[in-house]
C-alpha cells in the first residue's frame, strides 16, 4: 500500500448559488501521477485552485503529510510544498525570465533590501540548463518568448524547489507534441523522486497513458478513484458522464464525394513571418482540416481567412467574388471564427453570457428603428445557450465565472445563433470534455450535411482524422501536404508531414 | 533589466542602445529645428546647460511618478503636492529655523504623506486613482492656502536652485529611483502588478500594499521636485481652484517618455532625456517669441507625435 500524501476531506466550495465542489473526500499517494477527470464544471480546477491558494475554501480541509494546510496564495502553497502550472499563461510581461521564475521568492536574493539581480540570473540560468531549456535566456524579458517557451519557464517555476505536489491543470492542451513530451518527462521525474503530480486533462488516452490513479468528479461530487491500469476510455467516459456514451464519437461516413462548388478561395496568402503562399479552396459541405505543430502557422490561416491578419497579402475570395480583407466584411458575408486563444480573443470576459452570444447578431436582432428589445435578446441567448448546454445559472451570469469548456460553448453558441455559412474553428475542442466534444462533432457533422463549409484547425490529430474530408498539413508557415479522408489515415502519416 | 538583450537573434544593437539612439536623435532634432529658426538667441552650449538644469526639476518628480504609472494608476494631485510640500518645507526651513534639513525633510516627508494619502484613499475607496487624486488635490491646495498664502526662501538658502546643488540633489534622486526599480523587490512587483494584477496577487504579492507604496515613492520624489521648484523660483504661491493642475503637465509628459521607452529597458533614462527635450522645445518657443496659445498647440502636437513615433504599438495590440 502506498503512503498517503494528501488527504482531501469534506471539501466544499460555492460560487453564488452554484455548488462547484460538494463534500469531496479522497486520498492522493506519494510517488504517483494522480489524474483528476470530469466534465466541464465538474469541479476539478476549483478543487486544485483551493489546494494552491487561488480560491479560499468554504469548508473542509487538505491534509498534506499529516498536517492541515490553508494556503492563502500560491506562494504560501509553494511554502507548503504545493505548486501549479495553470491552463492559460502564467508568466508576467515586463519581468525577465529569472524574475518570473522567482516571483514571490525574491527574498533568497535580497540582502539589506537590495536584490542581487546577477545572482538571480545565474541561478535561473543554472535551472534553465538543468532542465534542458538552454535556448531561453534568464535575463531576457519573458515577452520575447512564445507561448510554448513561456510554458517551459512555468514548468521550472513550479518544480525547481522540489514541491511535494505539482498540479498540472490542462496544460497539455495548449502545448504542441514537443512541449507535451517535455512536460511528460518532468512529470515522470517528479514521480520518480517520490513526489506527486495531480494531472488534469480532457484527453482520456493521455490520462490512461500517463497517470497511475484517476479520481472522477461529476457536478462537483466525488464519484470514484480507480487504477489507470484497470480502465479503458469507455469505462472512464461512463464514470464521467454517469451513463454509457453511445453513438459515434467522430463521423462514421467514408467515401463521400466533396462537392465541386467552391465557397471560398484562398490564393497566395502571405503574412510576414507567419505564413507564406497559402492557396486552397473550401467547398460546400466540406470539413477542411489544418494540422501541424503549434508554430506551423496554421492558427494564422484561420485569422487570414477571417480578415483578422495584419499585413496580409494575397486574396481570400467568396464564390460571388467578394474579397474578404477585414472582419466586418467577413461577418457580413456569413463567415464565423473562433480563436484558439479563447479568453483573450473570443469571449468578452466581463460581459454576460447573453451579451456574448448576441454580440455579432445585434443587427439581425434590432427592430426597424434599430432598437434592441431586452426580451428578444434574452430569448435568443437562452435558445442558443441551451442548444449548446452551457452550464450556467442564467444568461445574465458573467462569462468570467464559467469554466474553460463552458466558455467555449458560449463562443460556439454565438456563431450557431448567427447561422454562418463558413465557419472557421481554431482548436474548437481545446479543454473540452468528452460529452461536449461529442456534441461539437455532431454539430459539425450536421452543419456539413446542411451545406455549411467548415475549416477546423487543430493540434489534436485524431479529431482531424475523425472529422475532416480533407486535411492540409502545415510546416514552417507553408502547406506541406494534403490528405484525403480515409479509414487508413493514421497519426504517424500526419506527423511525418508535420515535422 | 538594463543589460537584457533581446532574444531575437541577429539584432545588431541591443534594445537599450537603440533606445538611447532614438532619444539622442530626438534631442538633436528638436535643438536643430529651433537653432535654424532662431540661431541668435537659442541653443548655445551654455543655453543648453541651463535648459538641462531646468529640466532636472520635473525629471526628479517624473522618475518617482513612473512607479505609479507602470502599475496603471494615475495622479492628478502632482501640482497640489508640490505646492503643499514646498510651502511646508519652506516654512520649516525659515520660520522654524531648521535650514536645509528642514527644507528637504519637510518637502520629502510632506510629499510622501500626500502619496500615502493618495494611495490609501485609492485602495480603501476602490475608485479610480484619477478621481481620488483629483478630489484630494482640491484638499491639498486648500490646506496649503490655509497654512500660508505664499512662501519665499531667503537668498542664502538657494543652493538647490543652482549648480551644483540642484544637480547633486537630482542625481541622488535618480540613483535612488534606479536602485529601487532595478535592485529591490519593489521594482519587480511594480512591473508584476502592472502586467497582471490577478496573477501578481496569486504569487503572494500584497498588491494593495505595493500600490500604496508606489504612491508614497511617487509622492516623496515630488517632494524632491518641490525642493528644486521653490529653490529655483525662490517662492511659491498657494493657488486654489485646481490651478495647481498646470504643474502636472511636465512631469507627466516625462513619464510618458519613460513608459514609451520601457520596452528598450531604459525608462528612467528616457524620462531624464525626455524632460530635457521638452525644455528645449519650451525655450525654443520662448526664443521665437511665439504667443502662448501657439506654444501650447505645438507642444501638445509634439507630445502626440513623439509618443506615437516612439511607442509604435504593434498592429492588433489593444491600446487603452
Summarize pLDDT for B124-167 with one digit per residue, the tens.
998 899 999 999 999 999 999 999 888 888 888 889 988 899 99
B12 pLDDT exceeds 70? Answer: no
How many angstroms separate the CA atoms of B186 and B195, rounded? 14
Q: Which chain B residues are Cβ-neighbours of A73 within 8 angstroms? A: 201-204
Give one word for B246, left, alpha or beta, with left for phi > 0 and alpha for psi -120 to 50. Answer: alpha
Q: A454-468: buried (b, 16+ CB within 10 Å) or exposed (e) per residue?
A: bbbbbbbbebbbbbb
How many angstroms separate the CA atoms of A3 and A164, rounded? 13
Residues 374-413 of A with CB under 8 A from B: none
Secondary structure of residue A224 in the 3-state scheme? strand
Contact B191 A140 (CB under 8 A): no
The residues that bridge with A318 in the sheet, in sequence order, are A264
Task: Give pLDDT, residue B5.
Answer: 39
Contact B4 A74 (CB under 8 A): no
A400 φ, ψ (degrees, to nearest 5): -60, -20
Q: Which chain B residues are Cβ-neighbours of A72 within 8 angstroms? A: 204
Task: Give pLDDT, residue A459.
Answer: 84
Q: Which chain A residues are Cβ-neighbours of B195 within 8 angstroms? A: 92-95
pLDDT bucket at B7, cuts 50 / 70 / 90: very low
Task: Give pLDDT, residue A47.
Answer: 94
Average pLDDT of A114-127? Answer: 94
How many angstroms separate the CA atoms of A226 and B222, rounded? 64
pTM above 0.90, yes or no: no
CA distance A132 to chain B (A): 17
Task: Give pLDDT, residue B10.
Answer: 39
CA distance A462 to chain B (A): 33
pLDDT bucket at A243, cuts 50 / 70 / 90: low
Question: Could you read off the pLDDT of A300-337 as tens digits, one per residue?
Answer: 999 999 998 888 999 999 999 999 999 889 988 999 99
Other beta carbons within 10 Å of B298: 15
Domains of chain A: 4-241 (3.40.50.300), 262-498 (3.40.50.300)
Average pLDDT of A260-283? Answer: 94
Secondary structure of residue B86 in the 3-state scheme? helix
How many angstroms separate the CA atoms of B163 and B150, rounded? 25
Task: Give pLDDT, residue B315.
Answer: 57
A488 φ, ψ (degrees, to nearest 5): -85, -10
Secondary structure of residue B153 in the 3-state scheme? coil
How many angstroms separate the CA atoms of A72 and B201, rounded? 10
A427 pLDDT exceeds 60? Answer: yes
Q: Please indicate if any CB of chain B lies within 8 Å of the CB of A117.
A: yes
Q: Which residue has the higher pLDDT, B38 or B6?
A: B38
**Do residues A176 and A147 lie in contact, with contact meaning Cβ atoms separated by under 8 Å?**
no
Task: Give pLDDT, residue B4.
Answer: 40
Across all residues in chain A, what is the average pLDDT?
88
**H or E segment and range at residue A205:** helix A204-210
How many angstroms separate the CA atoms of A359 and A354, rounded? 8
The beta-strand segments (E) located in A86-229 are 110-111, 114-115, 165-169, 196-200, 213-218, 221-227
How many angstroms separate the CA atoms of A347 and A357, rounded? 9
Secondary structure of residue A325 in the 3-state scheme? coil
CA distance B203 to chain A (A): 5
Sheet holding A196-200, edge to edge: A82-85, A165-169, A196-200, A33-37, A213-218, A221-227
Of A152, A171, A131, nearest in space to A431 by CA: A171
pLDDT bucket at A405, cuts 50 / 70 / 90: confident
Q: Please indicate if any CB of chain B lies within 8 Å of the CB of A137.
A: yes
Task: Give pLDDT, residue B9.
Answer: 39
pLDDT bucket at B13, cuts 50 / 70 / 90: low
Task: Give pLDDT, residue A399.
Answer: 85
DSSP state of B262: G
B2 pLDDT exceeds 50? Answer: no
Of A475, A445, A349, nearest in space to A400 by CA: A349
Task: Give pLDDT, residue A233.
Answer: 86
Q: Which chain A residues are Cβ-neighbours of B192 within 8 angstroms? A: 92, 94-95, 99, 103
Residues 6 or more apart in contact with residue A113 via CB below 8 angstroms: B184
**Do residues B215 and B81 lie in contact, with contact meaning Cβ atoms separated by under 8 Å?**
no
The residues that bridge with A111 in the sheet, in sequence order, are A114
DSSP B20-47: HHHHHHHHHHHHHHHHHH--SSS--HHH
Instruction: Determine which of A75, A106, A115, A272 to mutate to test the interface with B (most B C-beta atoms within 10 Å).
Output: A115
Q: Which residue has the higher pLDDT, A87 or B65?
A: B65
Inter-chain CB pairs, A–B, below 8 Å: 84
- What are the CA-CA distances from residue B282 to residues A435, B25, B245, B253, B273 (Å)? 67, 18, 18, 13, 14
Q: Please indicate if any CB of chain A lies within 8 Å of the CB of B35.
A: no
Question: Could you read off the pLDDT of B215-235 as tens digits, one per residue?
Answer: 999 999 999 999 999 999 888
**Do residues A32 and A165 lie in contact, with contact meaning Cβ atoms separated by under 8 Å?**
no
Of A331, A291, A312, A318, nearest in space to A426 by CA: A291
Sheet holding A478-484, edge to edge: A335-338, A422-426, A453-457, A287-292, A470-475, A478-484
How many angstroms separate the CA atoms of A222 and A43, rounded? 9
**Do residues B151 and B91 lie in contact, with contact meaning Cβ atoms separated by under 8 Å?**
yes
How many angstroms separate the CA atoms of A205 and A249, rounded? 14
Contact A95 B5 (CB under 8 A): no
Can you tell me the ipTM of this complex? 0.74
Average pLDDT of A225-252? Answer: 80
Average pLDDT of B61-77? Answer: 94
User: What does the block give as the cell for B67?
Assistant: 512607479
pLDDT bucket at B8, cuts 50 / 70 / 90: very low
Across all residues in chain B, what is the average pLDDT?
88
Question: Could you read off the pLDDT of A22-80 as tens digits, one per residue?
Answer: 999 999 999 999 999 987 778 898 999 999 988 899 999 999 999 999 998 888 999 99
User: What does the block give as the cell for B172?
Assistant: 541622488
B309 pLDDT exceeds 70? Answer: no
Q: Which residue has the higher pLDDT, A254 or B80?
A: B80
A1 pLDDT exceeds 70? Answer: no
A264 pLDDT exceeds 90? Answer: yes
DSSP A36-71: EE-STTSSHHHHHHHHTTSS--SEEEEEETTEEE--
How many angstroms separate the CA atoms of A463 and A466, rounded? 5
Provide the sign of the torsion angle of the four alpha carbons B213, B216, B218, B224, taken in this order.
negative
- What are the CA-CA distances from residue A468 to residues A56, A432, A487 (Å)? 44, 19, 12
Average pLDDT of B42-55? Answer: 91
Secondary structure of residue A196 in the 3-state scheme? strand
DSSP state of B246: G
**H or E segment and range at residue B7:** none
Of B141, B138, B128, B140, nearest in space to B74 by CA: B128
**H or E segment and range at residue A262:** strand A262-271
Task: Give pLDDT, residue B310.
Answer: 60
Task: Give pLDDT, residue A352.
Answer: 87
Q: Which chain B residues are Cβ-neighbours of A113 within 8 angstroms? A: 184
Q: Which of B4, B182, B192 sits opposite A140 (nearest CB)?
A: B4
DSSP state of B300: H
Share of chain B above pLDDT 90, in %: 54
Of A410, A460, A141, nearest in space to A289 by CA: A460
Amino acid at each position: 500500500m502506498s503512503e498517503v500524501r494528501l488527504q482531501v476531506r469534506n471539501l466544499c466550495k460555492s460560487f453564488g448559488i452554484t455548488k462547484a465542489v460538494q463534500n469531496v473526500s479522497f486520498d492522493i499517494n506519494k510517488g504517483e501521477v494522480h489524474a483528476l477527470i470530469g466534465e466541464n464544471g465538474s469541479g476539478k480546477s476549483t478543487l486544485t485552485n483551493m489546494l494552491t491558494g487561488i480560491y479560499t475554501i468554504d469548508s473542509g480541509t487538505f491534509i498534506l503529510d499529516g498536517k492541515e494546510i490553508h494556503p492563502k496564495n500560491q506562494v504560501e502553497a509553494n511554502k507548503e510544498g504545493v505548486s501549479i502550472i495553470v491552463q492559460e499563461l502564467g508568466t508576467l510581461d515586463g519581468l525577465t525570465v529569472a524574475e518570473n521564475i522567482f516571483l514571490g521568492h525574491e527574498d533568497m536574493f535580497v540582502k539589506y533590501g537590495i536584490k542581487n539581480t546577477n545572482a538571480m540570473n545565474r541561478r535561473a540560468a543554472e535551472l534553465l540548463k538543468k532542465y534542458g531549456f538552454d535556448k531561453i535566456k534568464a535575463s531576457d524579458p519573458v515577452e520575447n518568448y512564445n507561448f510554448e517557451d513561456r510554458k517551459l519557464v512555468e514548468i521550472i517555476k513550479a518544480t525547481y524547489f522540489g514541491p511535494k505536489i505539482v498540479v498540472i491543470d490542462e496544460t497539455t492542451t495548449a502545448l504542441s507534441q514537443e512541449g507535451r513530451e517535455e512536460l511528460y518527462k518532468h512529470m515522470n521525474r517528479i514521480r520518480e523522486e517520490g513526489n506527486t503530480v495531480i494531472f488534469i486533462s480532457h484527453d482520456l488516452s493521455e490520462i490512461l497513458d500517463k497517470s497511475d490513479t484517476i479520481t472522477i468528479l461529476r457536478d462537483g461530487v466525488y464519484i470514484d478513484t480507480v487504477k489507470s491500469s484497470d480502465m479503458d476510455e469507455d469505462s472512464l467516459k461512463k464514470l464521467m458522464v454517469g451513463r454509457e456514451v453511445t453513438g459515434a464519437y467522430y463521423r462514421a461516413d467514408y467515401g463521400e464525394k466533396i462537392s465541386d462548388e467552391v465557397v471560398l478561395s484562398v490564393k497566395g496568402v502571405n503574412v510576414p513571418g507567419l505564413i507564406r503562399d497559402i492557396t486552397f479552396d473550401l467547398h460546400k459541405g466540406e470539413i477542411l482540416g489544418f494540422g501541424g505543430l503549434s508554430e506551423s502557422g496554421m492558427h494564422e490561416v484561420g485569422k487570414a481567412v477571417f480578415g483578422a491578419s495584419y499585413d496580409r497579402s494575397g486574396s481570400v475570395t467568396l464564390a460571388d467574388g467578394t474579397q474578404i480583407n477585414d472582419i466586418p466584411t467577413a461577418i457580413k458575408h456569413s463567415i464565423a471564427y473562433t480563436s484558439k486563444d479563447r479568453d483573450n480573443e473570443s469571449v468578452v470576459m466581463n460581459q454576460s453570457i447573453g451579451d456574448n452570444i448576441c454580440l455579432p447578431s445585434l443587427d439581425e436582432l434590432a427592430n426597424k428603428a434599430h432598437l434592441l428589445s431586452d426580451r428578444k435578446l434574452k430569448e435568443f441567448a437562452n435558445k442558443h445557450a441551451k442548444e449548446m448546454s452551457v452550464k450556467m445559472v442564467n444568461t445574465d451570469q458573467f462569462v468570467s465565472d464559467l469554466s474553460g469548456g463552458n466558455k467555449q460553448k458560449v463562443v460556439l453558441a454565438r456563431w450557431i445563433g448567427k447561422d454562418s455559412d463558413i465557419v472557421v474553428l481554431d482548436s474548437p475542442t481545446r479543454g473540452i470534455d468528452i460529452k461536449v466534444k461529442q456534441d461539437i462533432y455532431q454539430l459539425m457533422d450536421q452543419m456539413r450535411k446542411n451545406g455549411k463549409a467548415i475549416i477546423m484547425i487543430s493540434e489534436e490529430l485524431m479529431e482531424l482524422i475523425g472529422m475532416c474530408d480533407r486535411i492540409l498539413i502545415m510546416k514552417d508557415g507553408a502547406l506541406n501536404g494534403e490528405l484525403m479522408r480515409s479509414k487508413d489515415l493514421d497519426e504517424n502519416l500526419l506527423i511525418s508531414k508535420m515535422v | 533589466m538594463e543589460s537584457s538583450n533581446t532574444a531575437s537573434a541577429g539584432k545588431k544593437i541591443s534594445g537599450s542602445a537603440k533606445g538611447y539612439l532614438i532619444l539622442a536623435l530626438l534631442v538633436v532634432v528638436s535643438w536643430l529645428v529651433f537653432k535654424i529658426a532662431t540661431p541668435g538667441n537659442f541653443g548655445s552650449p551654455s543655453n543648453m546647460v541651463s535648459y538641462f538644469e531646468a529640466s532636472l526639476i520635473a525629471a526628479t518628480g517624473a522618475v518617482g511618478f513612473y512607479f505609479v504609472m507602470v502599475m496603471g494608476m494615475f495622479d492628478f494631485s502632482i501640482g497640489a503636492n508640490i505646492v503643499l510640500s514646498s510651502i511646508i518645507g519652506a516654512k520649516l526651513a525659515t520660520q522654524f529655523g531648521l535650514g536645509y534639513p528642514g527644507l528637504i525633510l519637510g518637502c520629502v516627508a510632506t510629499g510622501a504623506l500626500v502619496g500615502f494619502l493618495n494611495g490609501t484613499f485609492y485602495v480603501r475607496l476602490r475608485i479610480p486613482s484619477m478621481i481620488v487624486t483629483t478630489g484630494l488635490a482640491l484638499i491639498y491646495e486648500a490646506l496649503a492656502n490655509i497654512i500660508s498664502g505664499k512662501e519665499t526662501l531667503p537668498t542664502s538658502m538657494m543652493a538647490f536652485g543652482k549648480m551644483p546643488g540642484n544637480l547633486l540633489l537630482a542625481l541622488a534622486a535618480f540613483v535612488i529611483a534606479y536602485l529601487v526599480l532595478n535592485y529591490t523587490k519593489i521594482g519587480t512587483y511594480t512591473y508584476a502588478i502592472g502586467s497582471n494584477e490577478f496573477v501578481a496577487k496569486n504569487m503572494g504579492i500584497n498588491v494593495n500594499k505595493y500600490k500604496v507604496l508606489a504612491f508614497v515613492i511617487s509622492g516623496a520624489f515630488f517632494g524632491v521636485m518641490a525642493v528644486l521648484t521653490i529653490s529655483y523660483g525662490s517662492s511659491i504661491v498657494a493657488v486654489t481652484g485646481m490651478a495647481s493642475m498646470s504643474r502636472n503637465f511636465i512631469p507627466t509628459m516625462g513619464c510618458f517618455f519613460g513608459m514609451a521607452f520601457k520596452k528598450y529597458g531604459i525608462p528612467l533614462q528616457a524620462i531624464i532625456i525626455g524632460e530635457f527635450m521638452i525644455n528645449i522645445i519650451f525655450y525654443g518657443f520662448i526664443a521665437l517669441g511665439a504667443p502662448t496659445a501657439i506654444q501650447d498647440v505645438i507642444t501638445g502636437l509634439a507630445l502626440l507625435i513623439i509618443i506615437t513615433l516612439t511607442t509604435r504599438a504593434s498592429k492588433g495590440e489593444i491600446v487603452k
